[in-house]
Amino acid sequence: MKIGYIRVSTQEQNTIRQEVMMHELGVDELYIDRASGKNTDRPELKKMMDYVRRGDTVIVESISRFARNTRDLLELVEQLTDKGVEFISRKEAIDTTTPTGKFMLTVFGAVAELEREYILQRQREGIEIAKQHGKYKGRKPIEHPDFDEVVSRWRKGEITAVEARKRLGMSKATFYRKVK
């Protein structure tokens, strides 16, 4: 079977271009994640990895849609190989059934990771320049008008920390950091 895997970074991004490509390739099953590729903790990726079996071929539009760093990419492809599953990336024309394909996978994986690092570096530089020009002030602090009253009641033991956090709409970490 031909198994297609599609990933976009956010819920708002469109998958149609990748879906059309998969349809044209005659993909039998399709898995679509709308999540960051920063790690392999993606629900549809996990389902696909559990589903595939010997003789299947996993097809992706590009390596960057499958994994964002070389280690994750190579680990995923190794898991596929151990199951007897082929891996094809259309954009980079990689086919892991050949030694050259395996070599190119490693090279392109490293290039994709380098590209991601460059993007992050440019983003950090842009934020720093914006800060210098007073145009970037960071995330707005979480402020609640009843914070002091709720914390006071919590400290007196009138309400639990869970109740206090619920009333303030704060995560555990944020709550304890702010009451320090």
- Chunked into runs of 10 residues, the chain (180 residues) has average pLDDT values of 92 88 94 87 94 95 85 87 91 83 81 83 91 82 84 93 91 88
Domain with CATH 3.40.50.1390 in the chain: 2-118
Whole-prediction pTM = 0.61
Superfamily of domain covering 2-118? Resolvase, N-terminal catalytic domain (3.40.50.1390)
- The whole-angstrom separation of Cα 168 and Cα 143 is 9
Write the DSSP string, 76-134.
Answer: HHHHHHHTT-EEEETTTTEETTSHHHHHHHHHHHHHHHHHHHHHHHHHHHHHHHHHHTT
Q: Which active-site residues does the annotation give?
A: 9
